[in-house]
Amino acid sequence: MRIEDVYIWDINAKWLGISPLQLMENAGAGVARAIEEKFGRGLKIAVFSGTGNNGGDGFVVARHLSFENNVTLFLIGDEAKIRSEEAKQNWKILKKLDFITIKVINDSSQIRELSLEGFDVIVDALLGAGTKGEPKEPIRSAIEKINEYAGRAKIVSVDLPSGYPSGVHVKCDFAVTFQWDKEEYRDFERVVAKIGYPRELYHLVGPGDAKFALQKKGEHKGQNGKLLIIGGSEDYFGAPYLAAKAASYIVDLVYLAMPEDSARRINDPNIILRPFDGKNFTKEDVEDVLSIADGVDAVILGPGIGEKAETKDFVVEFLRWCEKPVVIDADALKAVAGDLDVLKGKKFVLTPHAGEFRILFGEKPEGSLEEKAKLVIEKANAVGGTILLKGIYDIISDGKVWKYNKTGNRGMTTGGTGDVLSGIVGALLALGNPPLRAASVGAFLNGLAGDMVKEERGENFTALDVAEKVPQAIKWVEEF
């Protein structure tokens, strides 16, 4: 697991109702328990806390250790700068306790004059994993002071040695890290303490995943995603438009390639139309569509494209030559069902419901959530891409790991919500997300938008209602 996963799990845990205060309490208690198990009780202990959440964990460590040890807490920094509500609450508790000595130190010169003689254990809760570069004063002086006592007192860090991986970091005997080890952590001993994350968080998609997926990188038009949607036919024009409408709220530019007959029915200045001669796509269109694809970041292929034989040939031939990440949806899924080899070496997301999954792979997903997930993993691994299996719970896998999404409601059985979903997934791909994250977060946002519509209107609504709710769903994620 990576450091980024810590932030995602914390946010998703909060969404499940597990408060950050609970997690801080469990983290601090886990560190205190590890210290007493290794070194015993009746000790003289110094806890160095910063003003961030790592420092908040230190406040909890100090409280737990104070029951059977002599504890002094050094707050390095201004108490007015204690950041999170959880850390503030634990600081207020500490200040009411008579059997913990508290010393607030703002000035590095005071730290340099400090003596830690006689302390058996020094707890480092100065900086967490989010810190970049070398520590600044007065934290830097606190790290140097702790390191003076390396070998004389036992030094235990909370989550990781403060300042790591820079050259100025605490030389701890071990760190107590939380729930699982992190792949970025090396060169120091670690003990893992569980802090109450449920098993669901390994697989559940939530607002934490979405926050990371929605990060924008550029400041100029086109730098935050250009997407091409290829769809429509003599029979359908609404499906590709719904995908384009949803995507237009997420990326800078949306190009919509459609047969001219159906393109004439669309009038939306937010979408750049690219009409093609005829009523349906044919192999003759492949070269021209590929030239448009050359200028975008991702492609959606399939909404409303139809099942004509010449269109199926177009789909397969386009995929053979397309080098961009692509969402393969709706009728395009049926077109590739007989020629899955065309996907080899491509970066793609397949978005089948159970019936389309059976057409693609000859098996229908059945049984429990985990039984379905096992089948999705197997087939994603076999085709070398990502599968988003739509259902009451959406199941997503890249052949290695699997995720599931719980947002959404019965009202979303209405036609077109799958097109909205493909539009969101394609837009997230165009923002540069890996296929697994784009598909997972796309399912989450689509369901969240649907849940917001249901809250306002009940279960009777249209897919366009869901598409138009995408900005509100994104705002909710950003503010969560």
- Of 428, 436, 360, 445, nearest in space to 403 by CA: 436
pLDDT of residue 136: 96
Judged by DSSP in three states, 173 sits in coil
Judged by DSSP in three states, 11 sits in helix
Q: What is the CA radius of gyration of the chain?
A: 27
pLDDT of residue 1: 82
Which helix (H) or strand (E) segment holds residue 331: the answer is helix 331-337
Find the mean pLDDT for residues 293-315.
Answer: 98
> For residue 57, how many other CB atoms are within 10 A of its CB?
32
Binning pLDDT at 50, 70 and 90, where does residue 351 land? Answer: very high
Residue 258 has pLDDT above 90, yes or no: yes
Task: Say what the pTM is.
Answer: 0.93
pLDDT of residue 280: 97
Dist. CA 476–CA 415, nearest whole Å: 25
- Tokens standing for 465? 């209602």
Judged by DSSP in three states, 177 sits in strand
Residue 458 has pLDDT above 90, yes or no: yes
- The pLDDT tens digits for 321-337 are 999 999 999 999 999 99
- The pLDDT tens digits for 220-246 are 888 899 999 999 999 999 999 999 999
Ramachandran sector of residue 202 (left: φ over 0; alpha: ψ -120 to 50; beta: rest): alpha
pLDDT of residue 218: 81
pLDDT of residue 436: 98
- The pLDDT tens digits for 435-444 are 999 999 999 9
Binning pLDDT at 50, 70 and 90, where does residue 166 land? Answer: very high
Residue 89 has pLDDT above 90, yes or no: yes
Dist. CA 144–CA 148, nearest whole Å: 6
Residue 216 has pLDDT above 90, yes or no: no
Angstrom CA distances, 465 to 55, 128, 391, 416, 450, stand at 45, 42, 20, 10, 8
Dist. CA 18–CA 199, nearest whole Å: 13
Judged by DSSP in three states, 452 sits in helix
Residue type, 298: A
Binning pLDDT at 50, 70 and 90, where does residue 183 land? Answer: very high
Binning pLDDT at 50, 70 and 90, where does residue 429 land? Answer: very high
Residue 371 has pLDDT above 90, yes or no: yes
CA 131 to chain CA centroid, Å, is 19
Helical segments of 174-282, H only: 207-213, 238-248, 260-263
Binning pLDDT at 50, 70 and 90, where does residue 217 land? Answer: confident
The position carrying tokens 């634990």 is: 90
Judged by DSSP in three states, 422 sits in helix
HEC-encoded secondary structure of 119-167: CCEEEEECCCCCCCCCCCCCHHHHHHHHHHCECCEEEEEECCCCCCCCC
Helical segments of 354-434, H only: 354-361, 369-383, 417-430
Identify the DSSP state of 236. -
The b/e string for 452-468 (b: 16+ C-beta within 10 A; e otherwise) is bbbeeeeeebbbbbbbb
Dist. CA 334–CA 349, nearest whole Å: 14
Domains in the chain and their CATH numbers? 3-197 (3.40.50.10260), 207-479 (3.40.1190.20)
Dist. CA 24–CA 132, nearest whole Å: 22
Dist. CA 341–CA 238, nearest whole Å: 30
Average pLDDT, the chain: 97
- The pLDDT tens digits for 397-418 are 999 999 999 999 999 999 999 9
Residue 12 has pLDDT above 90, yes or no: yes
pLDDT of residue 130: 84
Length of the chain: 480
Judged by DSSP in three states, 78 sits in coil
